[in-house]
Amino acid sequence: MSHFTFPTGPQDRPQDPPQNHRQDRPQDRQYVLGQELRVSILTSGEETDGRHDLTDSVMPAGSATPLHLHTRYEERLWVVSGSLTVWAGPDTVTLRSGDFFTVPLHVPHAIKSGPEGARALNISSPAGFAELIARAGTPLHLATPETELDGELFMAVTAELGDVVLGPPGTTPADLEEIGE
């Protein structure tokens, strides 16, 4: 796993997701997973022949992913604003604006946003994460404050894409060691 810090200043932090080269309306590329994650797909696997995808993700304060791993793609995070704590295998790292972290294939990991929430660019290679979001998420323009994650659909798409959910939000890789997995 790698972790880098890039120098940034207020002028280097984009306030809005960058415009992509596709002719889609922006709302056609924005999704929510319940109230825990808002995602804009900036580049899909279709646009890169499957080499990678790029998303702009926003997590409210204290939101957490389930403990999971990817069998088909690596995940890379670059924090734009706020902070994320990442538990990946034996490592725990807190990322702030300008920090970068790579989660390799087959590494159990979980991510939690800090007290101010977080915005991060997510790069998966080969592509995979954007497809999960597009297929399991709710289009942002249809979402309400009551929108919940469709857990059954999410788990079905997750399994099809080779992701493995190992525990609920709040579970870390250390918890797997405690139960002997």
Complete domains list, the chain, with CATH: 28-178 (2.60.120.10)
* Cα 127 from Cα 33, distance rounded (Å): 19
Query: Of 9-18, 41-50, 160-169, which range is least confident?
Result: 9-18
pLDDT given at position 28? 84
| pTM for the structure as a whole | 0.83
| 16-73: pLDDT as tens digits | 544 444 456 666 899 999 999 999 999 999 999 999 999 999 999 999 999 999 999 9
Helix (H/G/I), strand (E/B), else coil: 130? helix
Residue 132's Cβ-count burial label (10 Å; 0-12, 13-18, 19+) is buried
pLDDT given at position 123? 98
Q: What is the mean pLDDT of residues 109-117?
A: 98
* Cα 104 from Cα 99, distance rounded (Å): 17
